[in-house]
Structure 1
Amino acid sequence: MSACAGGSPIAQGQPKPDWGLADMPSQDGRIVLVTGGTSGIGYESAKALAAAGARVVIASHSSLERGEDVLASIRQDAPNAQVQYEKFDLADLASGRALAERLNATLPRLDVLINNAGIMEPPERGVSKDGLEMQFAVNYLGHFALTERLLPLLRKSDAPRVVTLSSIAARRGAAIHFEDLQFEQDYDPGDAYRQSKLACLMFAFELQRRSDASGWGLRSIASHPGVSRTNLQVNNGVVRRTLGRFILQPAARGALPTLYAATAPDARGGSYYGPTGVMEMRGPLGFARVPEAATDARTSTRLWRVSEQLSGTPYPSRAAD
């Protein structure tokens, strides 16, 4: 793994701190899928990629009307943008399966998958259509399953990338609670959120290890947006009270680590990018600190196996082509 563990940055492949949209290479001819691209980090990522020439598929649970409004907004800024909207629900594994079937039937390949969509700390425990705790289902397991189902399309690309969004919350005492993975016994919104985002980070690293072992050719990279002005943060009462709106950076700024991971030639597989200012809430782009829990290979392997069982999506074996 090329990510840094325990907060020690790696000099090789370090992005320049002031990397911005002007540094993003042309995306002409690339095909990108962004989950949750109708607002926040996902929207800013989709808009920037479309403006750079990529064909962008936005997949979200928003209504078709909302999707059309988002496409119109992107085209207003980039009249030649190639964008399409696909409605699907990460909280419904059958919906993700149907999306993958549509895309496998209509796209020639997929160059970049950005696993961006998420929810944050609903006060009451909710469950997905598959009976799973909602944050675990939406933030993590839905993306785990979608990535496997899109693996054939990704492998048709010359240089496929999978970018999975985590959070600085993954550092704050996060753990994988195998004894109560769905928080059925004692639901804590923050703890469930931290678990889901730690799982996303572990998934990104394990996906790179498995790709390297099996020759899938993927570059799997994790990113986090710091603390940005999105629906997740602005609508979260705890964040409003403790941080205040003045600390939140614009969503466009928060999207830069994801865009770097998705487009920069030097972005390294198995790495983790984010802001590097105070507590990584905002600031210059760089390697993010990796929590020790995310480097536990035994736990990552166990989580992977449990995730395959829960989602019904077994990945190809490491030895398989």
Structure 2
Amino acid sequence: MPGFLSFVRDQYATLELPRPSTNISDATYIVTGANTGLGYECAKHLFQMGAGRIIIAVRSRAKGEAALATIRRETGRQSVGEVWDLDLSSLDSVEEFSKRIQQLDRLDALIENAGVAMGKFQTLEGMEMSLYINVLSTMLLALRALPKLQESAHKFGIRPNLVIVSSNTALDDNIRLSADQIDGDVFDTLSTAKVFDVMTQYPRSKLLEIYAVRQLASLFPVSESGVTINAVNPGMCYSELDRNGNFRLRLLMAIMRALLARSTEKGSRNLVQAAFAGSDSHGSYFSECRAKNEDLPTWITDKDGKRVQEHIWADLLKRLESTGHGVDIASLRAKK
């Protein structure tokens, strides 16, 4: 992670609102976790930019409908937008959602914003909750959406985007995972009460996301898939991310936000930028509304980092297989 002074400078950087390079009146976008926070603001931007079809993916339909009603009222686009159910704490829900994706005529971008920061140790199907939601479910959705993104690229001559929201907290040296630390299954290693720490578990889940996105991008080059895949850091923003946190986490976040946070709307500009990013950015880490791979520490990008990345990816695929949600990467790569 960049030094503290660089972090402060970045927090106060001017973030220009991105603009699509082409007319998006026929385009379809999905934003997960869009009933509040960054996802809400991202979806609202897409409404204002004239996107033809915008799908708000949420766990609570009532909250999703309320958010959509507000966006429609504020943008004046009463006939645009739809709410789809998605619960990332259920892989079956991810599968049902993914089936609906395959029925779309086209998909121009999937913006995976939904995530959690846990304030206490809790497991789901033997995996710590934030790892389950932020990594396992998020990457399953990405993999299941890829066929539609690839199909859209070749059918409509477009360059769809797969965007996964991560965090610069994952880049701190204290979060680093070395090969010997994850000897064995990484999800088992990080899913014990002994290892769990409220201050490090969320960043660790986001680090696993970054590794997974980099591996996914390497397996699906734009020249073959037609899809641009990136991870994006929205920066420290006012949000409800720590709503599940304990008092210590919420207090620390309240202090940090009071001093340094950018508005949720400004943070969401990073998501929009990544959703419109060109193919030359493929596999990048986005921050401050641009591909900013120089922020990645060498322990992510060097040979040892690559070995850790491949280990995490293998464990991810094994975990999906063991839960009955296996992914055939070879078959997926063959799809056009």
Q: TM-score, normalised by structure 2?
A: 0.80
Instruction: Find the partner of 2:120 among 112, 117, 124.
Output: 124
Matching residue of 2:16: 20
Work out the CA distance in 2 between the residues paired with 1:240 and 1:38: 21
The alpha carbon displacement at 1:92 in A equals 0.8
Identity, % of aligned positions: 27
The alpha carbon displacement at 1:131 in A equals 3.2
Q: Which runs of 5+ in 2 are unaligned?
A: 4-12, 154-158
Instruction: Find the partner of 2:233 among 224, 239, 245.
Output: 224
The alpha carbon displacement at 1:103 in A equals 2.3
Work out the CA distance in 1 between the residues paired with 2:216 and 2:28: 20
Contact in 2 for aligned 1:140/1:200 (Cα 8 Å) = yes
Matching residue of 1:10: none
Supply the RMSD in Å over aligned alpha carbons.
2.6
Work out the CA distance in 2 between the residues paired with 1:166 and 1:319: 24
The alpha carbon displacement at 1:245 in A equals 1.7
1:140-197 residue CA offsets vs partner (Å, 9 max, x unmatched): 1111101111121111222121111111110122234426132344321222211110
Matched, 1:101 2:107: no
1:7-43 residue CA offsets vs partner (Å, 9 max, x unmatched): 9xxxxxxxxx755336444422111111111111111
- Identify, as 1 or 2, the structure richer in helix: 2
State the secondary structure of the residue aligned to 1:189: coil
Work out the CA distance in 2 between the residues paired with 1:196 and 1:307: 12
Instruction: Find the partner of 1:189 among 189, 198, 201.
Output: 198
Matched, 1:157 2:157: no
Work out the CA distance in 1 between the residues paired with 2:30 and 2:253: 31
Contact in 1 for aligned 2:18/2:269 (Cα 8 Å) = no
Partner amino acid, structure 2, of 1:205: R
Work out the CA distance in 2 between the residues paired with 1:240 and 1:184: 23
The alpha carbon displacement at 1:219 in A equals 0.6
Q: How many residues align?
A: 296
Matching residue of 1:299: 308
Contact in 2 for aligned 1:260/1:267 (Cα 8 Å) = no
Instruction: Find the partner of 1:67 among 64, 67, 70.
Output: 64
Matching residue of 2:265: 252
Matching residue of 1:280: none
Write the mapping of 1:1-321 to structure 2, written as runs, cut at 5 A. 18=14, 20-21=16-17, 23-25=19-21, 26-54=23-51, 55-62=53-60, 64-80=61-77, 82-105=80-103, 107-120=104-117, 122-128=118-124, 130-158=125-153, 159-172=159-172, 173-176=174-177, 177=182, 178=186, 180-212=189-221, 215-232=224-241, 236-240=249-253, 242-265=255-278, 268-275=281-288, 287=292, 289-295=295-301, 296-311=305-320, 312-317=325-330, 320-321=334-335
Contact in 2 for aligned 1:96/1:145 (Cα 8 Å) = yes
Contact in 1 for aligned 2:228/2:279 (Cα 8 Å) = no
Work out the CA distance in 1 between the residues paired with 2:280 and 2:33: 23
State the secondary structure of the residue aligned to 2:169: helix
- CA gap of 1:319–1:260, structure 2 versus 1, over 3 A, is closer
Q: Which moved more, 1:50-59 or 1:261-270?
A: 261-270
- CA gap of 1:31–1:222, structure 2 versus 1, over 3 A, is same
Contact in 2 for aligned 1:226/1:274 (Cα 8 Å) = yes
- CA gap of 1:206–1:266, structure 2 versus 1, over 3 A, is closer
Q: Which runs of 5+ in 1 are unaligned?
A: 8-16, 276-283
Partner amino acid, structure 2, of 1:220: I
Contact in 2 for aligned 1:183/1:192 (Cα 8 Å) = no
